Amino acid sequence: MLKFIIKKNYFQDALRLMRISKSMSEKEGVKKAVAVMATDKAKFALKDAGLVTDDINAAAGADLVMVVEADSEDAAASVLSEMETAVTASSSKTGKVSDILGQEMRVINIGLDIFKEALDAQGVKTIQVDWEVPAKGDEKVLEILKKMY
């Protein structure tokens, strides 16, 4: 009996998926258990292993595919559920994707007071570090930076 789940746009680390696949493959009654991103290479390997369906074949590279072939429908469903739980649990343990756009902006400004003033005007927290051209530094670079801001 073959059962599968496709999670759209659910990127996961390949090494983690291999570990989960190996662990699930060792369960009683399981013939094959695979969790992979639906890349063309992965779908080719699934097809070669006899684990591809039309839905899996239509999945995009950013989709996660979890497939279990087992002796019975109950075993396949149980292991597939366990696999999904393992993927979800390991995904949350590794850290959530940073919401960098939602975070408060903070900047360390080196030199260029005018740049600090522009950031302050936008409500950005800034730390100002005074900077001068190092000995034998390039005055042209400083002039270019001043013109930019």
Ordered by where they begin, the domains of the chain are 2-93 (3.30.1360), 101-148 (no CATH)
What is the rounded CA–CA span in Å between residue 145 and residue 127? Answer: 18
Residue 130 has pLDDT above 90, yes or no: no
What is the rounded CA–CA span in Å between residue 118 and residue 124? Answer: 9
pTM score > 0.85 for this model? no
50-81 pLDDT tens trace: 999 999 999 999 899 999 999 999 999 999 99
Phi-psi map region of 123: left, alpha, beta (phi>0 left; psi -120 to 50 alpha): left
Residues of the chain with pLDDT > 70, as a percent, come to: 76
Residue 35 has pLDDT above 70, yes or no: yes
Lowest pLDDT segment from 11-15, 45-49, 121-125 = 121-125
